Every structure is written in structure tokens, then in C-alpha cells.
């Protein structure tokens, strides 16, 4: 039997996480090329990490990022300032236009949803929450505004990383979801937030809308048990293959 100290297991998981991040980015870049994507809608952009990864992977099309936390949005604006094909918006997206309270914590785990009992026990940052009111818009009502005017035939890719709110964002695309040729969502095996949809519910919703899975990549694991908490799920509307 192989025995490793807990610190060594954590180191192995950190290496795996880095590898899976690279695999995810490479896979997404391949999908963007295969499906002729010319506009990526980056929902839950935080400080622009996803957009920078796409640029490093060779994607040179338009990126439209959404980040509702004012302080982080200001940072994101600065990051996008020198990229003429990268625009940013300071609002959240959901199924209804509203003003909602966001539970802001350090790092990338702020959410409109409150943390679950499991999430609070696992992540100390959830014990120090700052409530911030943020505007919420429906994506279908913003689409004509955010799609660059120079795109005669937009081919959209929807990336969602909203800490449990992805299905609300998805619902807010309404009847215009058919304009999306590919998408990406962080789907949960274990519920970190109250009311967070489980993986099976999320995938069922996406498949009913005409999307099929092209890749599943672990995002977070428990060090002790090895259980995966979340996956990055990449999907495509295969009928739209160019």
C-alpha cells in the first residue's frame, strides 16, 4: 500500500488542477476554431483570467465579459483597456431583470446564492461575507447591444462561471439560445451554495436545449476523499459545425 502525507496529496491535486486547466483551455480553443466562433460571452469574468487564457491559446475574436462586483469590475476594465476586441460590463446576468444582493468573499467564489452548510464548513472565506447589491440583466435583452457591429454573422460561445447561478444565466438567453453554437458551464457534484443545481439537472437542461458534451474536466477536489466537487462542462450544438 502506498501511503502519502496529506500535504503530498494536496500537492498532487494542485498539479492535476493545473494540468486540467491547460487541457480545458486547449479543448475550448479547438472548439472555438471548429465551430467558427467569433464572439465569446464570458459570464463571471472576475479579473479576466479566462479571457487571457483564450488569448494565450490563440483566439483572436471578440470577447464580451461580465463581472458584477464593482471593485473587481474596475480591475477588469483596466485589463481589457488595451484589447480592442475585449469589452466588459459591470452587471450580473440572470433569468429576470432585478437588483439582487451578492455575497462577496475573497477570491473567485462570490455568488448571488448563499453558501450551503457544506460550503461554509469547507471554505473559511464564507465566514466573512460582504453583501453588495448588483444589477441583474437578461442576456437576451442585451444581446443586440453587446454583439460587435462588425459581425455580420455572429457565432457565439457562452461561458458561464457564476458559482451556482449558471442555469439562471442560461434561462435569461430565452429564445435566442439558438444563436449560441457552443458553451461552457461549471457544473456541481456537491452543492457549495444553497439551491445550486446538481450536475445531472444542469446537463439535462443543456441537452434539452440542443447541446452535446464535448469535454468534462475536474475543477475542484476534496483532498481527503478525492471526490470531485465541480467539473468544467464544455458543450456544442453539433448541428452548427462549420
Average pLDDT over all residues of the chain: 93
User: Could you please report the per-residue DSSP string of 76-135?
Assistant: HHHHHTT-TTEEEE--EE-SS-EEEEEEE-STT--BSSPBPHHHHHH-GGGGS-EEEEEE
Residue 179: other Cβ atoms inside 10 A: 17
- CA dist 158 and 146 (Å) reads 13
- For the chain, the structural domain boundaries read 6-90+140-240
**pLDDT score for 135:** 98
pLDDT in tens, 202-213: 999 999 999 999
pLDDT in tens, 6-56: 555 555 556 667 887 899 999 999 999 999 999 999 999 999 999 999 999
Sort 9 into a burial class: Cβ within 10 Å, 0-12 / 13-18 / 19+: middle
**pLDDT score for 176:** 97
The residues that bridge with 115 in the sheet, in sequence order, are 193
Residue 1 in this model has a pLDDT that exceeds 70:
no
**pLDDT score for 173:** 98
> Please, which pLDDT band fits residue 177 given cuts at 50, 70 and 90?
very high
Cβ–Cβ under 8 Å, residues 110 and 144: no
- CA dist 185 and 158 (Å) reads 8
- The H or E element that residue 16 is part of is helix 6-34
| φ/ψ bin of 83: left (φ > 0), alpha (ψ from -120 to 50), beta (otherwise) | beta
Please report, for residues 4, 10, 12, 129, the alpha-carbon distance to residue 7 in angstroms, rounded to integers and kept in the order given: 8, 5, 9, 28
Cβ–Cβ under 8 Å, residues 188 and 196: yes
Lowest-confidence segment of 137-141, 220-224, 238-242 by average pLDDT: 238-242
Q: Among 3.40.50.150, 1.10.1040.10, 1.20.1440.230, 3.40.50.300, what is the CATH number of 6-90+140-240?
A: 3.40.50.150
What pTM value is reported for the model? 0.92
Sort 30 into a burial class: Cβ within 10 Å, 0-12 / 13-18 / 19+: middle
pLDDT in tens, 42-78: 999 999 999 999 999 999 999 999 999 999 999 999 9
Residues 6+ apart with CB under 8 A from 210: 178, 237, 239
Amino acid at each position: 500500500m502506498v501511503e502519502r502525507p496529506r500535504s503530498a496529496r494536496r500537492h498532487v491535486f494542485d498539479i492535476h488542477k493545473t494540468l486540467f486547466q491547460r487541457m480545458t483551455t486547449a479543448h475550448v480553443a479547438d472548439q472555438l476554431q471548429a465551430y467558427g466562433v467569433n464572439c465569446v460571452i464570458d459570464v463571471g469574468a472576475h479579473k479576466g483570467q479566462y479571457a487571457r487564457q483564450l488569448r494565450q491559446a490563440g483566439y483572436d475574436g471578440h470577447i464580451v465579459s461580465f463581472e458584477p462586483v464593482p471593485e473587481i469590475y474596475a480591475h477588469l476594465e483596466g485589463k481589457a483597456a488595451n484589447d480592442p476586441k475585449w469589452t466588459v460590463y459591470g452587471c450580473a446576468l440572470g433569468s429576470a431583470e432585478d437588483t439582487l444582493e451578492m455575497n462577496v468573499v475573497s477570491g473567485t467564489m462570490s455568488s448571488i446564492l448563499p453558501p450551503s452548510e457544506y460550503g461554509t464548513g469547507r471554505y473559511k472565506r464564507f465566514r466573512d461575507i460582504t453583501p453588495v447589491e448588483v444589477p441583474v440583466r437578461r442576456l437576451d435583452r442585451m444581446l443586440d447591444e453587446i454583439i460587435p457591429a462588425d459581425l455580420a454573422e455572429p457565432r457565439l460561445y457562452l461561458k458561464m462561471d457564476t458559482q451556482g447561478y449558471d442555469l439562471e444565466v442560461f434561462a435569461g438567453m430565452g429564445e435566442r439560445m439558438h444563436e449560441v453554437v457552443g458553451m461552457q458551464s461549471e457544473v456541481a457534484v456537491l452543492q457549495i451554495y444553497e439551491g445550486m443545481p446538481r450536475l445531472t439537472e444542469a446537463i439535462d437542461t443543456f441537452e434539452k436545449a440542443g447541446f452535446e458534451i464535448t469535454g468534462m474536466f475536474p475543477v475542484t477536489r476534496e483532498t481527503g476523499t478525492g471526490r470531485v466537487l465541480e467539473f468544467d462542462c464544455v458543450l456544442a450544438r453539433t448541428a452548427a459545425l462549420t
